[in-house]
Chains A and B, each alone.
Chain A
Amino acid sequence: MSVATARRSRVVLQNGPGNRLSPTERAALAQLLLERGLEVSCRNSLPSSDSREGDTIVVDSSGDAPFESSSGLPLVNAGGADPAALAEAIHARGKGTAGTAWKPWFPVIDYSRCTNCMQCLSFCLFDVYGVSADNKIQVQHQSNCKTDCPACSRVCPEVAIMFPKYRHGPINGEEVKTDDVRREVMKVDISALLGGDIYALLRDRSVKSKSRFSKERDDERALKERQNCLVALQRDLDVPPEVLAALPSPDEILAKAEQARSRRLKSEV
């Protein structure tokens, strides 16, 4: 995992009678806090022991039945403040996520479906996937994933890769239907089509194309073909244009193939 592990603050709101915040105000406050990246716990009483004490802020909205204050948790007084002002004051004291640029967009593997075929690992050019010590496919570098790009899930023959924030099923986690599986089975197995060793083939092809282009070089035509190819890729796999723009160069792809080959050789020894 390559994402920071800083914990968010939790805000405890008080339920019950005698509360100076009405249920409507509490709901509005909770929503504002959640949108600022803070967790919210609504409680009838303050927990006597809490493992997250250091991260907890209590909103004191007590009327007749105040929370016990013996825990020493930081208190924010709710008296008279509207939910927006209160949320601002609490956010200033806590650790939220406002200003964090990264949208949590990354593949989630359904291991009840995954057959460990490694097609996702071969397909992804951004090193999102890796292999565990026991040779199991894993999502290892989530923040490398390109926001809104679900392309790897489309090459998975078992419909085992989800992006929970994607628009459509089954990529969004919707239950997989028989038709979804049948559609995947009909897809061409890229590595089989290319003779099994996609990286060796890419290298051969690169050598051949260099030789061919040196004889009949036509930069304009090559560029047009590449653009046609990218348009087709964008259309068929729903790949955002900015992801295509970030694709590695042929040299980077070959270097990656070399790295993957040496990793594999090491694991076979």
Chain B
Amino acid sequence: MSRPRILYCHCAFAKVVAPEVKAAVLAGLSEADVEFDAVPDLCEMASRRDDRLRDLASPGQLRIAACYPRAVKWLFAAAGAELPESGVRVWNMRVETAGTVLNGLLDSNGGGSHPEAAR
């Protein structure tokens, strides 16, 4: 089974995610030597309907470090890149600690919230 893809959103255009959480998550991913994709700001990409979002939303396991799962789900949808109904997990850097986020992204057992569960 292939490893889940990892997507990290830096939320670069607002100050809603604590800088120390973002720095710690980025450092942890780099330290772990895993492959991952980091984007400056999912909102900004969604506003441009960036076709990269469609690539990221392609079927398969995807782990996302960003903000609230409900927001992430509908941002992708707004960009015409609906996330698959299964295989996607989101960790919320606005409320979760860097340790929790990193454990979720790197742990083979997963965790996190599926965007479908957020209502």
Please pick, from A7, A26, A112, A139, the residue contacting B30 in the complex, using a CB distance under 8 A: A26
Would you give the 0/1 interface string for B80-119, flagging 1 where the beta carbon is closer than 8 Å to chain A? 0000000000000010000000000000000000000011
Please pick, from A108, A166, A173, the residue contacting B78 in the complex, using a CB distance under 8 A: A108
Would you give the 0/1 interface string for A1-24, flagging 1 where the beta carbon is closer than 8 Å to chain B? 101111110100001100000011
Task: Give the shortest distance, in Å, between A176 (CB) and chain B (any CB).
Answer: 6
Q: How far is the CA of A134 from the CA of B29 in the complex (A)?
A: 44
Task: Give the shortest distance, in Å, between B94 (CB) and chain A (any CB).
Answer: 8
Contacts of B42 on A, CB cut-off 8 Å? Answer: 164
Q: How many A-B residue pairs have CB under 8 A?
A: 146
Contacts of B48 on A, CB cut-off 8 Å? Answer: 1, 3-7
Residue contact B119 to A112, C-beta cutoff 8 Å: yes
Task: Give the shortest distance, in Å, between A129 (CB) and chain B (any CB).
Answer: 13
> In the complex, which residue of chain B has the Cβ closest to the Cβ of A167?
B16
- The chain B residues found within 8 Å of chain A, CB to CB, are 10-14, 16, 22-23, 26-27, 29-31, 33-44, 46-52, 55, 67-72, 74-75, 77-78, 94, 118-119
Contacts of B71 on A, CB cut-off 8 Å? Answer: 108, 162, 164, 172-173
Residue contact B14 to A109, C-beta cutoff 8 Å: no
Contacts of B16 on A, CB cut-off 8 Å? Answer: 165-167, 172
Contacts of A10 on B, CB cut-off 8 Å? Answer: 52
A116 interface residue, CB < 8 Å from B?
no
A131 interface residue, CB < 8 Å from B?
no
Task: Give the shortest distance, in Å, between B1 (CB) and chain A (any CB).
Answer: 17
Task: Give the shortest distance, in Å, between A113 (CB) and chain B (any CB).
Answer: 7
Please pick, from A23, A108, A165, A167, the residue contacting B27 in the complex, using a CB distance under 8 A: A23
- The chain A residues found within 8 Å of chain B, CB to CB, are 1, 3-8, 10, 15-16, 23-24, 26-27, 30-31, 34-44, 51-52, 96-97, 103-106, 108-113, 139, 142-143, 162, 164-167, 169, 172-176
- Assuming the contacts A1-B47, A31-B10, A39-B40, asked whether A164 and B67 have C-beta atoms less than 8 A apart, the reply is yes
Residue contact B12 to A34, C-beta cutoff 8 Å: yes
Contacts of B10 on A, CB cut-off 8 Å? Answer: 31, 34-35
Contacts of B74 on A, CB cut-off 8 Å? Answer: 108-111, 162, 173
Interface of A is mostly: loop
Q: How far is the CA of A30 from the CA of B11 in the complex (A)?
A: 13
Residue contact B118 to A27, C-beta cutoff 8 Å: no
Most buried by B among A40, A110, A113, A164: A164
Q: How far is the CA of A103 from the CA of B47 in the complex (A)?
A: 10
Q: How far is the CA of A169 from the CA of B47 in the complex (A)?
A: 21
- Assuming the contacts A24-B27, A39-B38, asked whether A173 and B67 have C-beta atoms less than 8 A apart, the reply is yes
Q: How far is the CA of A75 from the CA of B27 in the complex (A)?
A: 24
Task: Give the shortest distance, in Å, between B46 (CB) and chain A (any CB).
Answer: 8
Top 10 nearest A-B pairs (CB, nearest first) are: A173-B71, A173-B68, A104-B43, A164-B71, A34-B10, A27-B30, A165-B14, A104-B44, A23-B30, A27-B27
Contacts of B46 on A, CB cut-off 8 Å? Answer: 104, 108
Contacts of B78 on A, CB cut-off 8 Å? Answer: 108-109, 139
Please pick, from B14, B22, B27, B38, the residue contacting A40 in the complex, using a CB distance under 8 A: B38
Please pick, from A105, A108, A169, A175, the residue contacting B75 in the complex, using a CB distance under 8 A: A108
Most buried by A among B12, B13, B27, B30: B30
